[in-house]
Chain A
Amino acid sequence: MAGPGVSLKTTGFILLLLFLLSTVFPFYWMFVASVREEGSIISNPGDLFPSEITFRNYVDCLKSGPFGRYIVNSVWVAVWVVLGNVILATMAGYAIARKRFMGKRIVLATVLGTLMIPKQITMIPVYILMSKLRMIDTYSALILPFLVDAFSVFFISQYVNSLPEELEEAARVDGASDYGIFFRVVFPLLKPALGIVAINSFLVNWNSFIYPLILTNSENMRTLPVGLALYSQGEHAVDWGHLMAGSTISALPVFLVFLAFQRQIIAGMIEGYGR
C-alpha cells in the first residue's frame, strides 16, 4: 500500500484525466467526422481512428456552401469591433479613471449596470431601430452596437487606476496635449490590458449569435455561427461530414487564439465573469 498522500494524488490524477478526456473527446469527434468520407460515417460511425483521411468535406463546404463568405463577414466584423474597443472604449475607460468631471460616479455605476442588462430586453428595440435606419443586413448592424463594450470600458478604467500618474504629469509639464498624452504616453503603458480587451472582444464577437441572427436576413451577410446554425436547418440537406467541417472552420480561429493567449484569456474571463 502506498501512503495516503500518494494514493490521493494518483486518484486525483486519474479523475482529472477522465474529466479531461470527456472535454476533449467531442472536439476530437468533430474533427474525425469532418475528415471522413460521408459513406464511412454512415457505414462505420464509431470509427475513432479512420485509416483514410479526406478533406473533401472542407472543399465541398467552402465551395457549395457560402462558408467562405461567412468567414469574410466574421473576420471583417471582428476587426472593427476589436479596433473600436481598443480605441473608443479605452478612451472612455481612461477618462473615467483619470479625469475629474461632474457625475463621474454615476458614469461608473452606469457602466457596471450596463454589464447586467440581459440581451433579450434590448434586442427588439435594436432590431426596430436598425430596420428604420435601413441597416438590417449590412455590416453597420453587425458592428455599431458592439464598438464600445461596457466591459472593455470598465476593465480599462480599473487598469488605469492601478498605474502611477507621474509619466502623464511629466508629459503635461513638457506641454503635451491631452490627446498626445493619451496616444503617446498612456497607450503604450496599457499594452497588457489592451491585449486582454482585444482578445476578449474578439472572442465574444466571434461567438456572438442572437444579434447577428436577427440583424441579418440574407445568406451573404451571415457570420460563421449564424451560417452554421442555419446551414443545418432546411436550407441544405443534413450532411454530418459537411456540418462537422463547418464547425471545425468556426472553431479553429478560437482554438488558435486560445493556444496563443491562454493566460490573457483566462485573466480576462475572470475579470469579466458573467458574460
Chain B
Amino acid sequence: MRGSKASTIVFLSPWILSFLVFSAYPIVYSFFLSLTSFDPLQGHPPSFIGLSNYLNAFRNPAFWTSLKVTLIFVLGTIPVTTVLSFFIAALLTEKIPFRGTFRAGFFVPTVVSMVVIAMIFKQLYSPSGYVNILLRNLGFHEVSWLENPRTALPSIMLMDIWSSVGYYVVIFLAGIQSISKEVFESASLEGAGWFRKHVSITLPLVKPVLLFIIVINGIRSFQVFIEIFVMTRGGPLKSTLTTVYYLYDEAFYRFNMGYASAVAYILFMIILVFSIAQMKYLRMGKID
C-alpha cells in the first residue's frame, strides 16, 4: 500500500491548479485571442476575425524587421558563446591552480539579474563610459555604441555573450568530466597537442552536451527582451527591435492583444521547430 487516494489528490492539487490556471488555460486562451481583435481598454470582449492577425503580421515590415533582428542575434551569439565556453571548460579541466575560483567567477554573471547587467553595460557603453575612455586613451574616436544603428545590436550581443558564457562553461565541464581519463592519456601518449586533443577527442565525446547547449541557448536567445527594454527600447531606427520586444510593445503599449498573441504564437512555433530540428540532429548524433 502506498497511502490513500485522498492524500495523493491533496499532494498533487496545488500543482494541478497552478498548471491549469497559469500554463494550460493561457496556452489555449492565447490561441483563441490570436484569432480575435482585442483591446482591453475599450471594454469590448474579443471579436473573432479569423487568421487576419497572422496575415497582418506577415504583411507588416516591423514584424519582419523584428524576426531579422532576432535571427541575427541568435545566429551571431550562439557560435561565439559555444566555442568560447567549450575552450574555457577545456582549460579548466587542466590541473590549474584556483580552478574553483575561476569556475565560480565565470558563473557570477549568470546569477545576477539581467537588468543589473544591462544597466552596468549601458553605463560602460555610454559616450562618457569606460569603453570610450579606453578608446580615447588608445587614440581612437569615441563611438556612441547604443545610439548608432550599426553598433547597437552588436554591442548588446557582445554583452549577452559575456553574461552567458559562464553558465555553458559549467555545463560543458560536467560533460567533459564524465569522460574517462584514459581517453585523454592515450591521446597524449600518441603526441596529440592540447588544441588537437580537445577538438578531435573531447568535442566528439561531448556532442550530446554540445547540441543540448545549442538548443537551450537558442530557446533563450529567441526570447531576448530585458537587454532591449533596458538599453535601447528597440531603437535606434528599429535596429534592436527583437520579436519579443515588438510583441511586448504591441501588447502592453498599443494594447493590440489579439495581434500580439498571434505574434507570440508565431514565435512559439519558430522556437518549437528550431528545438525539434536540433533534437532530431541530437538523436542522430547519438546513433553514429
B257-285 interface with A by 8 A CB criterion:
257, 260-261, 264-265, 267-268, 271, 275
A-B contact pairs, 7 of them (CB 8 A): A116-B275, A117-B27, A118-B219, A118-B267, A127-B252, A240-B123, A274-B216
How many inter-chain contacts with C-beta < 8 Å in the A-B complex? 256
**Per-position binary interface string of chain A over residues 201-223, scored 1 when its CB falls under 8 Å from any chain B CB and 0 otherwise:** 00100110110011000000000
At the interface, yes or no: A12 with Cβ under 8 Å from chain B?
A: yes
Nearest-Cβ distance from residue B100 to partner chain A, whole angstroms: 9
**Contact present for A251 and B96 (CB under 8 Å):** no
Query: Chain A: which residue is nearest B222 at the CB level?
Result: A118
At the interface, yes or no: A64 with Cβ under 8 Å from chain B?
A: no
**Which segment, of A49-57, A190-198, A225-233, faces chain B?**
A225-233
Give the contacting residue for A92; candidates B15, B103, B116, B268; CB below 8 A.
Answer: B15
At the interface, yes or no: A145 with Cβ under 8 Å from chain B?
A: yes
**Contact present for B229 and A229 (CB under 8 Å):** yes
Query: Chain B: which residue is nearest A122 at the CB level?
Result: B26
**Contact present for A182 and B96 (CB under 8 Å):** no
A26, B158: Cα distance in complex, Å: 13
Known: A121-B27, A178-B4, A247-B116. A23 touches B257 (CB 8 A): no
**Contact present for A120 and B117 (CB under 8 Å):** no
Nearest-Cβ distance from residue A208 to partner chain B, whole angstroms: 9
**Contact present for A9 and B267 (CB under 8 Å):** no
Contacts of A269 in B (CB 8 A): 110, 167, 170
Nearest-Cβ distance from residue B110 to partner chain A, whole angstroms: 7
At the interface, yes or no: B55 with Cβ under 8 Å from chain A?
A: no
Give the contacting residue for B121; candidates A26, A179, A258; CB below 8 A.
Answer: A26
**Contact present for A99 and B97 (CB under 8 Å):** no
**Contact present for B130 and A45 (CB under 8 Å):** yes
Nearest-Cβ distance from residue A108 to partner chain B, whole angstroms: 11
Give the contacting residue for A207; candidates B101, B113, B170, B194; CB below 8 A.
Answer: B113
**Contact present for B1 and A126 (CB under 8 Å):** no
B157-176 interface with A by 8 A CB criterion:
162, 166-167, 170-171, 174
**Contact present for B123 and A23 (CB under 8 Å):** no
**Contact present for A262 and B104 (CB under 8 Å):** yes
Known: A88-B14, A120-B267, A209-B113. A42 touches B128 (CB 8 A): yes
Give the contacting residue for A95; candidates B8, B223, B252, B260; CB below 8 A.
Answer: B8
Q: How many residues of B contact A (CB 8 A)?
A: 95
Contacts of B260 in A (CB 8 A): 124
**Which segment, of B17-25, B73-81, B145-153, B199-207, faces chain A?**
B17-25
**Contact present for B88 and A33 (CB under 8 Å):** no
Additional pairs, 13, CB under 8 Å, beyond known A29-B120, A114-B23, A213-B229 = A19-B88, A26-B117, A27-B112, A121-B27, A122-B23, A124-B26, A127-B252, A128-B40, A210-B248, A225-B115, A228-B119, A258-B107, A262-B104
Contacts of A247 in B (CB 8 A): 116, 119-120
Query: Chain A: which residue is nearest B107 at the CB level?
Result: A266
At the interface, yes or no: B108 with Cβ under 8 Å from chain A?
A: yes
**Contact present for A126 and B94 (CB under 8 Å):** no
Known: A121-B268, A125-B33, A206-B113. A23 touches B105 (CB 8 A): yes
A230, B74: Cα distance in complex, Å: 26
**Contact present for B230 and A119 (CB under 8 Å):** no
Contacts of B67 in A (CB 8 A): none
Contacts of A246 in B (CB 8 A): 119
At the interface, yes or no: B133 with Cβ under 8 Å from chain A?
A: yes
**Per-position binary interface string of chain A over residues 116-153, scored 1 when its CB falls under 8 Å from any chain B CB and 0 otherwise:** 11111111111111010000000000001101101001
**Contact present for A228 and B225 (CB under 8 Å):** no
Contacts of B105 in A (CB 8 A): 20, 23-24
Contacts of B23 in A (CB 8 A): 114, 117, 122, 150
Nearest-Cβ distance from residue A219 to partner chain B, whole angstroms: 16
Give the contacting residue for A126; candidates B22, B124, B244; CB below 8 A.
Answer: B22
**Contact present for B119 and A182 (CB under 8 Å):** no
**Contact present for A229 and B115 (CB under 8 Å):** yes
Nearest-Cβ distance from residue A34 to partner chain B, whole angstroms: 10
Return the 5 tightest CB-CB contacts between A and B, nearest first.
A178-B7, A92-B15, A125-B26, A95-B11, A122-B26
Give the contacting residue for B33; candidates A29, A96, A124; CB below 8 A.
Answer: A124
